[in-house]
Amino acid sequence: MSQQASKKQKADAGESSGRIAHKKVKDAEAVLLKVKALAVKLKQTQEVERTLTSLNLPYNCREVVDKNSEAVLDEIEAAMFEIAASILKGEGFSFDVPSRAKGNQVYVPELDRIVLRDSVSKRPFASTQTCRKAAITARILGLVHQLCTKRIHVTKRDLFYTDVKLFEDQGQSDAILDDLACMLGCTRSSLHVVASEKGVVVGRLSFREDGDLIDCQRMGVGGKAIPPNVDKVDSIQSDALFILLVEKDAAFMRLAEDRFYSTYPCIIVTAKGQPDVATRLFLKKLKTTLRIPVLALVDSDPYGLKILSVYMKGSMNMSYDSSNLTTPDIKWLGVRPSDLDRFNIPQQCRLPMTEEDIKTGKKLLEEDFVKANPLWVSELELMLKTREKAEIQALSSFGFQYLSQVYLPLKLQEGDWIEALCAAQQRPDVGEIGNAGERLGSRGHKALGA
């Protein structure tokens, strides 16, 4: 693109920025037209799930699967027999633990998620460097064996308190637990150890949890806690048109109290910040079962985008289970850096980015999955250029119900979301749905120059 053309597009964007704030919210039927079109398109698209084995990659990768109690017990007992045999030979014992180091993680464009390369490190008991970790590994193997034998589940905190002197810190027992899941080739939930309840859901959704019927429209402002054992969730029913994924608990409560889902049929989900495993599993299950679009509402800062990327591409810590935990096709609805001018967010509600924010933003621009999304790059570059960030709550400067009554309806009405692309795709395919940059004159989008 020539410099003259680029300058013209930026000038056009500057003239039209802020116009969306003066648009009128139409009736609910009109607001939902583009969302309905997106939902229909999604249901008509045949999903082809690609796997690591089908890609013939030049390197081996390690992934886990759900295993029942008997299968996990077999794996643990086989490992212990090997250890016993090694000790009887006078060779001591050692665990072969898959390496989950950052250098062993890789983003696979064809799958659009982070995976773990198959590299194993030794954890010998006879080494002064690893003897304590080896002892903790053996102890947790024994505890998981008990849980699978008794068919009961405990939280990670419960597990920590079984041997506080040995574990010292819950972070250490948590890390070993992930090592064991990876080593045994099963998901962490297969070990019968779950995290405490964190995420919540509300809206047009009903399901059965361990046989009990749950209606998420009758759960009040606080919503229904997402069960830590998502395997016990079945019989999912919904007439929602989309799932609204919300970063903050405060925004969730606002939308729940205003019964946003009654006017605009949706399911609202939040993990109250950094996404936990149960919320990620639950979101994946909803998306796979209902086949409706997921729209994300996060803060306009690098950490909001990092949280969104964890839902979509996976986390480094849990890369071995990314096939079960990721929901790749999530639309970035807001709050985006270009929204700050387009919705005339007051200057006093915009926060200056810290050096750490800027560093995080620049690191995100170097990620392969971000580079694959030119519209994401444009928004991030705009954020770094202005050095401004804003929370979802900044919209409350126009009124406490501005989020539910104006901002989100306008976003849905205009189809103003960013489609996610993976690096394997050639170019943005925004089309007529979600083509917000062209229609709304978004400064960030116009600067892109499709």
Do the beta carbons of residue 267 and residue 223 sit within 8 Å? Answer: no
Find the helix or strand (DSSP H, E) in which 209 lies. Answer: strand 206-209
Structure tokens at 284: 């994946």
At 311 the three-state DSSP class reads helix
**Cα–Cα nearest to 216, from 207, 270, 246:** 207
Cβ-contact 301, 390 below 8 angstroms? yes
Concatenating the DSSP letter of every residue in 78-138 gives HHHHHHHHHHHTT---EEEEE---GGGEEEETTTTEEEEE--EEEEETTSTTTHHHHHHHH
Closest CA to 108 of 373, 322, 360: 322
DSSP result, 234-282: EEEE---SEEEEES-HHHHHHHHHTTHHHHS-EEEEE-SSSPPHHHHHH
φ/ψ of 199, rounded to 5, equals: -70, 155
The answer to whether 161 is a known catalytic residue is: yes
Q: How far apart are alpha carbons 172 and 444 in whole angstroms?
A: 43
- Is residue 247 within 8 Å of 307, Cβ to Cβ? yes
Q: State how beta strands 233-237 and 206-209 pair.
A: antiparallel
Q: Which residue has the tokens 């297969």?
A: 190
Tell me how far apart the alpha carbons of residues 330 and 155 are, in angstroms, rounded to a whole number. 29
Q: What are phi and psi of 203, to 5 degrees?
A: 125, -155
> Pick the catalytic residue: 59, 107, 161, 407?
161
- Residues serving a catalytic function are 161
